[in-house]
Structure 1
Amino acid sequence: MTFWVLIFLVALLIAAFLSYTLLRNRRSDEPAAAYDLRVYREQLASVDRDLTRGVIGEADADRVRTEISRRILAADAQMKQEGRSGGPARSVSVVAIACLALVLIGGATAMYHRMGAVGLPDMPLAARVEMAKEVRANRPSQAAAEELVTPPVPRQLEDSYANLLKQLRETVAARPDDLQGHMLLAQHETNAGNFMAGYTAQKNVVELSGEAVTADAYSDLAEMMILAAGGYVSPEAEQALDQALKRDPRHGPARYYWGQMLAQVGRPDIAYRVWVETVQDAPPGAPWADAIRRQIDELAFRAGVFNAPNLSGATGQPGPSQGEVAAAAELTPEERQEMIQGMVNQLSDRLATEGGSPEEWARLIAALGVMGQAQRAIDIRDEAMTVFAGDDAALEMIDAAALQAGIAQ
């Protein structure tokens, strides 16, 4: 209630100030014509004095009196005109004041109802931080989130790839202690859109790895759980991210999802700092850096940051234009698959004839793995290993792409 009284009093004070300006008598100031009349009358008196002293003749005195009289008549007419247009009528001013007060008071109230939070108590920083802690501690579990999410539409797989995936499931079921088998199963289940099955297999990867489990393994587990929950970072996914960051505090994908979690629980200020550092540390073409750049402006606004650094650097990987994305959205699944195949073939032909960066070779290998063209992916991997022989960083990138494609040796 105090807030509304304060708003009303402020609006009323402004209206009163403007009303005083409208109602005050602006005609109290002397018009310019009144000053002219005094001057002309003084000139008439001086003419009589000059005539008495003999300074001027009678004929000159009459001529000057006539000219001054003409000017006096003109000044008097001007004063009468100013008197008639000295301002609006009082009734008009009163109506204007009433409308002004209505606009100020009513408009302020309507704007707050539309843009404000009626009935919401003050939210100091300490209260918001405490609320974020409660949200983080009491948010839904992974299972609860999966129940609320619309299940993803299964991807259309080629028959050969579907059969290989079925055989892989059977092989892993028969050999539950096969670490490599679980790694392949987790990757291919995720590629096929079976995110729950993917993170179930990835949990087995973490367990079978024992003390040698890597930050990548935990980060992949968290990512699969987040995909299964429709982008929501559950407490279970947070635990996996925490384990990944304990093993590698600069792990890019884990830091990306960690920032996403912080934004979801009401701490966009911390999330913004995490994302900025992640982008600044990211290698060229890192997919998590591209994802951050697409969302950083909105997060900066939520965090109250208006002097954000420029993070829109080159990603290192050319992407489709907006027109190409819009055209792809209108294609049928078969046409879209054909378009993707054409893009992959174009990239493959260019790398074979002109060469390219390790990122492009890795992207081609990963794409072929997702499309189920395992043998072709193996051939490209072998060729890339030859091209980048002796370049440890490039070979590591190629190995990572091969693992993603499910063709790791």
Structure 2
Amino acid sequence: MSLWFVFALMTAAAIFAVLWPLGRRTATPGGSDQAVYRDQLDEIARDRAEGRIGEAEADAARTEVSRRLIAAADAAEKEKPVSGTAAPVWRRRAAALIGLLLLPIGASALYLVLGSPQLPGQPLAERQAAAQQDNSIETLIARVEAHLEKNPNDARGYEVVAPVYLRMGRFADAVNARRKAIALSGESAQRQADLGEALAALGNGVVTADAKAAFERALELDRNDLKALYFIGLAAEQDGDRKKAAAIWMSMLKDAPADAPWVPMVSEALTRVGGVPPKPTEATPAQPGPSADDVAAASQMSEQDRGNMIRGMVARLADRLKQDSSDVAGWQRLMRAYMVLGDRDKARSAAGDARKALAADPDKLRQIDETIKSMGLEG
């Protein structure tokens, strides 16, 4: 109610400012000057009659005042409005009435259209909290999408949003974003490999003909592109050509540093098609935990001994990760070890722990997400 009272006072002040000039009487132009000069002439006559000034001084004063009186009379004559041009009283009253009615009505209508009179008041702290509370991935993606609608040629925007689409499971949107990025920025080995990855995800993990074409184009641009090489090997495995897949993956592992984050994934793929991953050199010792060779060796033991050996190594790896949760390769090996043991629930639990532990490192988190996706542990 107090707000409306303030608005009423403001409106009244505005109306008063408009009507005040219209209500003033128009003064007669030049009338006051002529009266002053006539008074001066009378005063000169009194001073001469009383002998306060001489005849010559009186004549000179009368001449000067008379000259000014004539000039004032001429000026007043010029300032008189031409007959028929003076605004009649009714026009001024009509203008005042229009201002009195239209100003508050117009202001109220404008406020009802542009304002929000029905919304309750909201303190500053609540407004700030509301602005900060919704920063979810969905909200951020919506903001990027709104930006791209207004700036459809922003290639960087598509490159930023595409991997997020992939992580969210919006594979068709990821494919579309990758293609737009290529169309706007030109092709490169990385962009073609990323497109192929999105197409493979859209095909539920199957390297389709379109995905394979993208990976082959990436290798034409860079024959050492690791992502393209891995998926070309996966395509060969899916086509039943296990020897070709093994040859591709073996070539990737041949000169790879043992601490490369993708080595465990490629080693597992190579073992899956019957290949034997190269042993790490002394300069690059193997990571703790069960390797593919360990699992292969365990197959020669009795069932009980084999299970005990693998579980012992898995337990040691899990204990080490509790002390050093930043080891992305260790998390990847732990998840694969649980899958070898056939314990999918523990593999999913390890995936969740890895995501929490590496949440502050986007690059490591991306590697974990890729591993989870390749192992079918999503959801």
TM-score range, shorter chain: 0.3 to 0.5
Point out which structure has higher relative CO (alpha carbons under 8 A, 6+ apart): 1
TM-score, normalization by structure 2: 0.43
* Greater gyration radius: 2
